[in-house]
Structure 1
Amino acid sequence: MRYKTIAVGTDGSDTSLRAVRTAASMAAAYDAELIIVSAFGSHENVGTRSGGTAETPIISEDMSQTFLKSAQDVAAEEGASKVRIIAKSGDPVATMLEVGKYHRVDLLVVGNKGRNSVRDRVMGSVATELMRKAYVDVVVAHTTEDR
């Protein structure tokens, strides 16, 4: 199998940058385009375990651009030569899926742990949800320990 377009999500955390490193290494090996995605904004009306709703702040658009620049630097270190960065408002999973479909991505990469542990406790992890909803291969990079 040859991947032509790989997308990876980042939330600016050290663990998400490890996922970017994994995706960039794969993009370099396959000579694939790498799309680095950062979802920004807040997600209103997230269901909580108590049955109520809450607004979960994620990151601002400016923060997202800063995270993408750092991720772009990591990708360059790994030898990815065709890199595109995209900041998009929305839920991380929905954003990855939308960007993936629009750009005809054939591999999605995500870290196994991100910045927003509140979202993980309420909705389930981004990695788990992405694996359930994805229409293409998903690689979950192990990011919680140094390798």
Structure 2
Amino acid sequence: MTDYRVVVVGTDGSKLAGPTVARAAWLAAREDADLVIVCAFADLSRRAEAKNVATLGGDTRVGQVLGRAAASEAIAAAVAVAQGENATISAALLVDGEPAAALLSTATDRGAQLIVVGARHERSLAERLLGSVALEVTKGAECDVLIVRPAPGD
């Protein structure tokens, strides 16, 4: 059985992010491991950031937060969840880039033994064609991957 010393978890501020971070934080606390929280985002111009980003609909960057401000909010929410699980948070990172690549590179850089990622049931055509973040992480990870699924009905 693997001893987890570093656990990396992704967050995007979605409904599934809370349970995903909670599971990662619980495992990290149980294993006395460091928790690294990662939020991948797409940097926006100040003008776009000032607008209500939610109205930009139609974006197909699954799992990627639009704008540094929204990413900061997602990280803050994830940190609060992790603290509630008594996890030791060694880093909370905003990464400008694609979610799977951000998780994989962070896991490699930090020497992680586990990546925890949420995976919703792919509902849109874009998600089915492009693949999910969880699938990309699973294909590219050199460590264990735990996929947290939504609760039934979500």
**Pair in the same fold by TM > 0.5:** yes
**Match for 1:93: what amino acid?**
A
Unaligned runs of 5+ in 1: 43-53
Aligned to 1:81: 88
> Normalised by the size of structure 2, how large is the TM-score?
0.79
Aligned to 1:107: 114
Aligned to 1:11: 12
1:119–1:136 distance in 2 versus 1, CA, 3 Å: farther
Q: Distance in 1 between matches of 2:13 and 2:107?
A: 20
**Match for 1:29: what amino acid?**
R
Is the contact between residue 5 and residue 33 of structure 1 (CA under 8 Å) also seen in structure 2? yes
- The C-alpha deviation readout for 1:10-66, integer Å capped at 9, x for no partner, is 110010211100000000000100001000007xxxxxxxxxxx9745411111011
Q: Distance in 2 between matches of 1:29 and 1:7?
A: 15
Is the contact between residue 41 and residue 89 of structure 1 (CA under 8 Å) also seen in structure 2? yes
Higher strand share: 1
Runs of 4 or more, structure 1, over 6 Å off, are none
Is the contact between residue 15 and residue 114 of structure 1 (CA under 8 Å) also seen in structure 2? no
Aligned to 1:137: 144
**Match for 2:134: what amino acid?**
A
Is the contact between residue 122 and residue 132 of structure 2 (CA under 8 Å) also seen in structure 1? no
Residue from 54, 61, 68 that aligns with 2:68: 61
Unaligned runs of 5+ in 2: 44-57
Between 1:82-91 and 1:5-14, the stretch displaced more is 82-91
> Normalised by the size of structure 1, how large is the TM-score?
0.82
1:70–1:133 distance in 2 versus 1, CA, 3 Å: same
Is the contact between residue 112 and residue 127 of structure 1 (CA under 8 Å) also seen in structure 2? yes
Measured on the aligned residues, the alpha-carbon RMSD in Å equals 2.4
**Aligned length, in residue pairs:** 135
Q: Distance in 2 between matches of 1:6 and 1:144?
A: 22
Between 1:127-136 and 1:114-123, the stretch displaced more is 114-123
Q: Percent identity?
A: 32
Is the contact between residue 113 and residue 144 of structure 1 (CA under 8 Å) also seen in structure 2? no
